[in-house]
Structure 1
Amino acid sequence: MIRHDLLALSDDGLAQLANVGLVKRGRRDVAEGKAPTITVSDDGSVQADFADGTVTKLAPDRSLIDATCTCPASGVCRHRVTLVLAYQAQQSAGGGADVETAASTSTNAATSAGQDAGTEAGQDAGTATGSSTSTAPDQDARKNTSGTTSPAARAAWDPAELDADAFTASLSAPLRTELTRLRAARLDVRLEQGAIPAAHLPMATVRFLVPHVLAYARCDCVAGGNCVHVALAIQAFKQARGATETRLEPIDSGTGANDTQVGNQLDAKTEARLDALRVAGDALLARLLDVGLSSGPDAFAQPLADARAAATTLGAVQYLLALDGLSQQIDAYAARSARHNEMLALQYATELYARTRTTDPRVALGIGESLETAMSRTRLVSLGARLRGDAGQVDASVMLADLDTGAVMVLERRITQARDTKLPSTAVLAQRQFSSGMSLSAAAHGQILTSSGKRRVDGRLVLGSQRGGLTQTMPYDGNAALRAPLMVANVDELIETLSARPPAFVRRHDATGDVRVFEIEEVLGQALAEGGQCWHGAVQLTNEGGVLRLQRRYDAVAPQALEALTRALSGQYGKLRRIVGPVYVESDNLICDPWLIMADRLLVPDLEAVPAGAASNSLPHHENAAATPLEQALQLLAGAVHVGRRTGPNNAGVRHHARTVAESLNEAGYRQGADYLSNWSTSSNTSDSGPNGPASFGNVACFIQAIR
C-alpha cells in the first residue's frame, strides 16, 4: 500500500512539522547512504529501523506527529522526519509511485538559520530548546536541502474541497461553541493559493501541508491542528471561490446556539449592549471635548471605566483596544512623555464615535474576537527595531516575521528610569534586557525560537519565561526569503491596496504598522529638513518596482539613527540591498520609516553605534511644503481633543480659524468636509445633542481622516 500522504510532504511541510535543522540532517543522511531500512505493511503501516537500533513506526491513516519512536524525543524528532524522507527516496528509486512531491528547495529551509540539526536527545520537538545564545548556524542551511533531482512540482489544490461539516462534527462541544463565536465575529481572512494553501486569520495561520488530508492541516496556535482555526480556514476557502481575501459569514456550527444571524445583523440582546456602549462612548467623547485630554487621568477615570465596562459586556475587542490607546495618550501627556501624539489621540477619539455607528458593527467593534491566542513552536526573524521616548522611559519595539506563515508581530518592552537620570547611550540600551534572558540587541539582530508565545489580536507578541528552553535567540543574517504581501515588488500596487482599505478609525488595530520589505536597485538621493530634525531619502526598487520614499524624524533616544541612515544610503556599509519598515501613503507617495537595512551586513539604525558625524550635516536641506487644508483641519480637531473648550468653537480665535479652514476645504473641492467643519464650529454647545457635541465633531473628524 502506498502512503500518498508521505509522498506529498515537501521539505517546507516537514519543516513546519519539525524544524529546518532536522529536515537538513535527514536529507544529508539519506544522500550519504545512512537512511534507515523502510518496511511497509499491507495495511499502510511504515516502520523505519535505524542503524543505532532506533525504531520509528507510523500507523495507517495517521499523520507524522502521531508516529511513535524509541528515541527519547517526545515530538517530531529527526527519526520521524528521516522516515518520511527515506520512504520518499525508496518510492522514487523503485518507481513504485508517481511521487507527487518535488524534493524541493524549501524557501524556509534555504534561508533560515535553523536549529542545530544534531539536537535530538531530550528535545521536545514541539518546543525550541537550547541556551539563549548560539554560534552562527551552519552555512548549509542556506543551500538546497533536498540534495536530489526534483520530480514534477506539486500541483495547486483548493482546501474548499475538504469536508468542513465532518471536521466540525469531530470537534468537541466547547470547541464548536468557540467556533460559533468566532464565525459570528465575521473575521477578515487573507488566503494563499498553491501547493501548500494557507489561510491567515487575525489570530492564527493555518497551512494545508498535504492535499485533501485534514490530519496535515497545521495551525500555528498552541493546539497545532484539529482546532477551530482549521474549520475557519476551510470555510474561508469555500467562501472565497478562488479569491485571495474573504470575510467569514456566520453559519450554523451545530451547537444549538442562535448562530444563524445574517450578515451584519445583530440580535436584540446584542443591539441593546451596542446602544449602551454608544452612550458610554459618547459620554467619554463629550468629556474630551469639554475639558480636553490635557486635563489629566483623573478627569477621565469614570467615563473610561464606564466605556470599558460596556465594551467588555459586548465583547468589543477592537473598541477596548481604542480605549487602551486613548488612556495611554492621556497618561503620556500627563507624564510629559515624548510618547504623546496629538494625531494618534485624535484617531482614538474618532474611534469612540465611529466604531459604534458603522454599517457592520461586528467587524468594527471586534465583537466575539479572541484578544490573544497561544502559539505553537514558532521561528521568528527580526524585521528591525525602533526606540521612542525620553529620559524617563524608553519604549523599545522589535518587529518580527514568522518564516513559516509570513505573519508579522511586534515585541515591545518599556525601559524605565528616574526622569532626572541621563538618557542611556545606544550601546547601553542595546544590552538592556528586552525579554526573559534576551537583550534588545539580540532580538533586533537575530531570530527567536519560542514555544511560549501568545499573539494578541493587534499583532503584539507576548513571550513567556525563557526557562526550560521555551525561548532562545540565534544569529540572523537578514537574508530570509520572505513572501508577499510582506515582500513588496511594486510600489503602485501597494499604494492601491493600502488606499482601498477602510479608514484607520474603523479598521482592526494593527500594532505592526503595515511593515513591508523592499529589495533595492539603487539610491536616488537623500536630504535633511526641519533644521536637520527630519531625514528624507528615495530609492528605486528592483525590477522597475517604482520609487520608495524614506523618512525618519530625529529622536533623542536614538540620536545616531539619522547618521546611520545617511551613511547607509551613502554606501559606507556597502551596496544597499534591502529596506524594512512600516509604510504609509502621503500625497500619492509611499513613505517608509526604515527599521532595518541590509547592505554588506544587517543594520538597525536605532541601535547602530555610530558617532554623530559630519555626513548628515553636509546633506542638502529639504524645504517643507505648506500644510494642506486637510492637514490644517486635522490640526484644528486634534487641538480640540487636546484642550477641550479652550480651543473649541466657543473661542473667537478658533472660530475664525475654523471658518478660514472651511473656506480652504471648500475651495479644494471638499464641500462636505467644509459643511461638517462649519456645523461643528457654529455653536459652543458640547452636549450630546448639540451641533458641537460628539455627533458634529465625529462627522467632521471621520470625514477628514477618511479622505486624507
Structure 2
Amino acid sequence: MTRADLLALTPDALAALANRGLVKRAAKDLDAGAGPEITVSPDGGVDGAFPDGTTASLPAGAGLEAARCSCAATGTCRHRICLVLAYQRTAAAPEAPEAPEAQEPGPGWSPGAFDDDALARVLGRRALTAARRALRTGYSAKIRRPTAREPVAQVELQTCTVRFLVPGELGYVHTDAVAAVRGEVTVLAVWAFRAADERGLAGEEIRLEVGGSAGAGGDGLDAALDLADQVLLEGAAHTGPVLATALERTAADLAASGQHWPAAALGDLAGQLAAHHDRRADHDPARVAELLAEVHARHRAARGGAAR
C-alpha cells in the first residue's frame, strides 16, 4: 500500500510540522548512509530500523504527531523525519515497483469536504463543542484556496493561521495557535471553507463572515450568554485568544445596538481574561464571578421583558 500522505509531505511541510533544522539533519543522515531499513506493512504502516539500534514507526491513517520512536526525544525527532524522507526516496527509486496514482484531491480540493464526524474523530468532541460556541457568535476568516502554484489550503482567523499541508488529511494541519486551542481553530478553519463552498465563493482568496446569532431574535444577548457560559465552564486559566476575541466582538455588537450595559460587562470580562493571561495585578477572580452573574442577569431580564 502506497502512503500518499507521506509522499505529499514537502520539505517546507515537514519544516512546519517539526523545524527546518531537524529536516536538514535528517536529510544529512540519510545522505551519509545512516538512514533506516524500511518495512511497510499491508495496512500502510511504515517501520524503520536505524543502524544505531533506534526504531521508529509511522502508523497508517495518522499524521506525524502519532509517529513513535525509541529515542529519548519527547516530540518530533530526526528519526521520524528521516523515516519520512527515506520512505519518499524508496518510493521514488527506479527499481521500486510503479506506485498506483494517488487518489488524493488535486489543487482544487477544499478542507470544507471534511464532515463533522471526521473532525470529531481526529480532533475530539471537545474541539467541536468549543468551535460551535464561536460559530454562534460569528467570526471573520480569510481563506486561500490551493492552486498548482501553492497547493496548501490556508485560513487566516482573527488570532492565528491554519494550514492544511496535505490534501484530504486532517493529520497534517499546522497552526500557530497555542496547543490548547489547536483543535478548535482547525474546526473553525474547516467550517470557513465549508461556508465559502456552500455560498459558491470560488476565488483563490476570499474574506467572509461565518456564523453569528446576533440579530436573529437574540439581539446578541444569546451569543453573550454562550460566551459567559464558556468562561464559566473552562475557567479563566483555560480560555484562549479565540474566546477573548469573541468577547470583544460581541461587546462591540451589543454597544452598536444600544445595549451598553451588557456590552460593558462583556468588555470588562475580556479585560479580566487579558489581565489573567498577562499575570497583571488587576485580575480579580471575584470580579470575574460578578461579571458572569451580570451577563446572566441581563439576559434573564431581557427575556422577561424587563428594561435593560
1:184 paired to 2:136: yes
SS of 2:255's equivalent?
coil
1:248 to 183, 189, 210: 210
Question: Quick one: which amino acid aligns to residue 57 of structure 1?
Answer: S
Indicate conservation of the 8 Å contact 2:65/2:76, yes or no.
Answer: yes
Query: Over alpha carbons, which structure has the higher Rg?
Result: 1
Question: Quick one: which amino acid aligns to residue 158 of structure 1?
Answer: W
1:198 to 154, 160, 174: 154
Indicate conservation of the 8 Å contact 2:106/2:167, yes or no.
Answer: no
Question: Following TM superposition, by how much is the alpha carbon of 1:223 offset from its aligned partner in structure 2, in angstroms?
Answer: 2.8
**1:97 matched to which residue of 2?**
99
Indicate conservation of the 8 Å contact 1:29/1:35, yes or no.
Answer: yes
Question: Following TM superposition, by how much is the alpha carbon of 1:83 offset from its aligned partner in structure 2, in angstroms?
Answer: 0.5
Indicate conservation of the 8 Å contact 1:57/1:68, yes or no.
Answer: yes
Matches within 5 A, 1:484-503: none
**Residues 154-163 or 185-194, more deviating:** 154-163
**In 2, Cα distance between equivalents of 1:218 and 1:15:** 10
Indicate conservation of the 8 Å contact 2:56/2:67, yes or no.
Answer: yes
Question: Following TM superposition, by how much is the alpha carbon of 1:56 offset from its aligned partner in structure 2, in angstroms?
Answer: 0.3
1:166 paired to 2:117: yes
In structure 2, do the counterparts of structure 1 residues 185 and 43 end up closer, same or farther at CA, with 3 Å as the change threshold? same
Indicate conservation of the 8 Å contact 1:198/1:207, yes or no.
Answer: yes
Question: Quick one: which amino acid aligns to residue 189 of structure 2?
Answer: A
1:210 paired to 2:210: no
**In 2, Cα distance between equivalents of 1:272 and 1:229:** 18
In structure 2, do the counterparts of structure 1 residues 269 and 249 end up closer, same or farther at CA, with 3 Å as the change threshold? closer
**In 2, Cα distance between equivalents of 1:164 and 1:219:** 20
Matches within 5 A, 1:664-675: none
In structure 2, do the counterparts of structure 1 residues 83 and 273 end up closer, same or farther at CA, with 3 Å as the change threshold? closer
SS of 2:256's equivalent?
coil
SS of 2:26's equivalent?
helix
In structure 2, do the counterparts of structure 1 residues 95 and 56 end up closer, same or farther at CA, with 3 Å as the change threshold? same
In structure 2, do the counterparts of structure 1 residues 25 and 273 end up closer, same or farther at CA, with 3 Å as the change threshold? closer
The superposition leaves residues 562-591 of structure 1 with CA deviations (integer Å, 9 ceiling, x where unpaired) of xxxxxxxxxxxxxxxxxxxxxxxxxxxxxx
**In 1, Cα distance between equivalents of 2:134 and 2:31:** 46
Calculate percent identity across the aligned residue pairs. Answer: 33
Indicate conservation of the 8 Å contact 2:111/2:153, yes or no.
Answer: no
Question: Quick one: which amino acid aligns to residue 181 of structure 1?
Answer: R
> RMSD over aligned Cα, in angstroms?
3.8
In structure 2, do the counterparts of structure 1 residues 199 and 35 end up closer, same or farther at CA, with 3 Å as the change threshold? same
SS of 1:227's equivalent?
helix
Question: Quick one: which amino acid aligns to residue 97 of structure 1?
Answer: A
1:231 paired to 2:187: yes
Question: Following TM superposition, by how much is the alpha carbon of 1:209 offset from its aligned partner in structure 2, in angstroms?
Answer: 1.1
In structure 2, do the counterparts of structure 1 residues 53 and 168 end up closer, same or farther at CA, with 3 Å as the change threshold? closer
SS of 2:47's equivalent?
strand
Question: Following TM superposition, by how much is the alpha carbon of 1:95 offset from its aligned partner in structure 2, in angstroms?
Answer: 5.2
In structure 2, do the counterparts of structure 1 residues 31 and 273 end up closer, same or farther at CA, with 3 Å as the change threshold? closer
Question: Quick one: which amino acid aligns to residue 143 of structure 2?
Answer: L
**In 1, Cα distance between equivalents of 2:180 and 2:97:** 34
Question: Following TM superposition, by how much is the alpha carbon of 1:218 offset from its aligned partner in structure 2, in angstroms?
Answer: 2.8
**In 1, Cα distance between equivalents of 2:145 and 2:69:** 34
**In 1, Cα distance between equivalents of 2:224 and 2:107:** 45
In structure 2, do the counterparts of structure 1 residues 34 and 272 end up closer, same or farther at CA, with 3 Å as the change threshold? closer
Question: Following TM superposition, by how much is the alpha carbon of 1:61 offset from its aligned partner in structure 2, in angstroms?
Answer: 1.1
Question: Unaligned stretches of 5+ in structure 1?
Answer: 101-153, 251-260, 275-314, 321-350, 373-455, 464-708
1:70 paired to 2:70: yes
**In 1, Cα distance between equivalents of 2:112 and 2:220:** 36
Matches within 5 A, 1:600-611: none
In structure 2, do the counterparts of structure 1 residues 249 and 319 end up closer, same or farther at CA, with 3 Å as the change threshold? closer
**In 2, Cα distance between equivalents of 1:176 and 1:355:** 26
Indicate conservation of the 8 Å contact 2:63/2:171, yes or no.
Answer: yes
Question: Unaligned stretches of 5+ in structure 2?
Answer: 226-245, 280-308
**1:438 matched to which residue of 2?**
none
User: Which structure has the higher relative contact order (CA within 8 Å, separation 6+)?
Assistant: 2
**In 2, Cα distance between equivalents of 1:78 and 1:36:** 11
Question: Quick one: which amino acid aligns to residue 207 of structure 1?
Answer: R
The superposition leaves residues 138-190 of structure 1 with CA deviations (integer Å, 9 ceiling, x where unpaired) of xxxxxxxxxxxxxxxx9524334532321344465543332122112221111
**In 2, Cα distance between equivalents of 1:237 and 1:73:** 36
Matches within 5 A, 1:437-586: none
**In 2, Cα distance between equivalents of 1:177 and 1:75:** 27
**In 2, Cα distance between equivalents of 1:272 and 1:162:** 27
The structure in which a higher percent of residues are helix is 2
**In 1, Cα distance between equivalents of 2:109 and 2:125:** 27
Matches within 5 A, 1:272-311: none
Question: Quick one: which amino acid aligns to residue 12 of structure 2?
Answer: D
SS of 1:212's equivalent?
coil
The structure in which a higher percent of residues are strand is 1
**1:156 matched to which residue of 2?**
107
Indicate conservation of the 8 Å contact 1:36/1:51, yes or no.
Answer: yes
In structure 2, do the counterparts of structure 1 residues 32 and 168 end up closer, same or farther at CA, with 3 Å as the change threshold? closer
Question: Quick one: which amino acid aligns to residue 210 of structure 1?
Answer: V
**In 1, Cα distance between equivalents of 2:145 and 2:221:** 36
In structure 2, do the counterparts of structure 1 residues 264 and 7 end up closer, same or farther at CA, with 3 Å as the change threshold? farther
**In 1, Cα distance between equivalents of 2:124 and 2:10:** 31
**In 2, Cα distance between equivalents of 1:242 and 1:213:** 21
2:255 to 356, 366, 391: 356
SS of 1:42's equivalent?
coil
In structure 2, do the counterparts of structure 1 residues 13 and 270 end up closer, same or farther at CA, with 3 Å as the change threshold? same
Question: Quick one: which amino acid aligns to residue 13 of structure 2?
Answer: G
Indicate conservation of the 8 Å contact 1:37/1:49, yes or no.
Answer: yes
SS of 1:74's equivalent?
coil
The superposition leaves residues 366-400 of structure 1 with CA deviations (integer Å, 9 ceiling, x where unpaired) of x89x969xxxxxxxxxxxxxxxxxxxxxxxxxxxx
Question: Following TM superposition, by how much is the alpha carbon of 1:48 offset from its aligned partner in structure 2, in angstroms?
Answer: 1.1
Matches within 5 A, 1:588-627: none
Indicate conservation of the 8 Å contact 1:14/1:81, yes or no.
Answer: yes
In structure 2, do the counterparts of structure 1 residues 66 and 247 end up closer, same or farther at CA, with 3 Å as the change threshold? same
SS of 2:29's equivalent?
helix
SS of 1:191's equivalent?
strand
The superposition leaves residues 197-256 of structure 1 with CA deviations (integer Å, 9 ceiling, x where unpaired) of 111111222111111011222332233887121111111112223342111124xxxxxx
**1:388 matched to which residue of 2?**
none
Indicate conservation of the 8 Å contact 1:161/1:212, yes or no.
Answer: no
Indicate conservation of the 8 Å contact 1:197/1:207, yes or no.
Answer: yes
Question: Quick one: which amino acid aligns to residue 232 of structure 1?
Answer: L
Indicate conservation of the 8 Å contact 1:92/1:98, yes or no.
Answer: no
State TM-score, norm by structure 1. Answer: 0.30
**In 1, Cα distance between equivalents of 2:2 and 2:165:** 18
**In 1, Cα distance between equivalents of 2:23 and 2:163:** 18
Question: Following TM superposition, by how much is the alpha carbon of 1:14 offset from its aligned partner in structure 2, in angstroms?
Answer: 0.7
Indicate conservation of the 8 Å contact 2:13/2:165, yes or no.
Answer: yes
The superposition leaves residues 13-59 of structure 1 with CA deviations (integer Å, 9 ceiling, x where unpaired) of 11111111011112222233332111111121111111111100122
SS of 1:198's equivalent?
strand
In structure 2, do the counterparts of structure 1 residues 11 and 224 end up closer, same or farther at CA, with 3 Å as the change threshold? farther
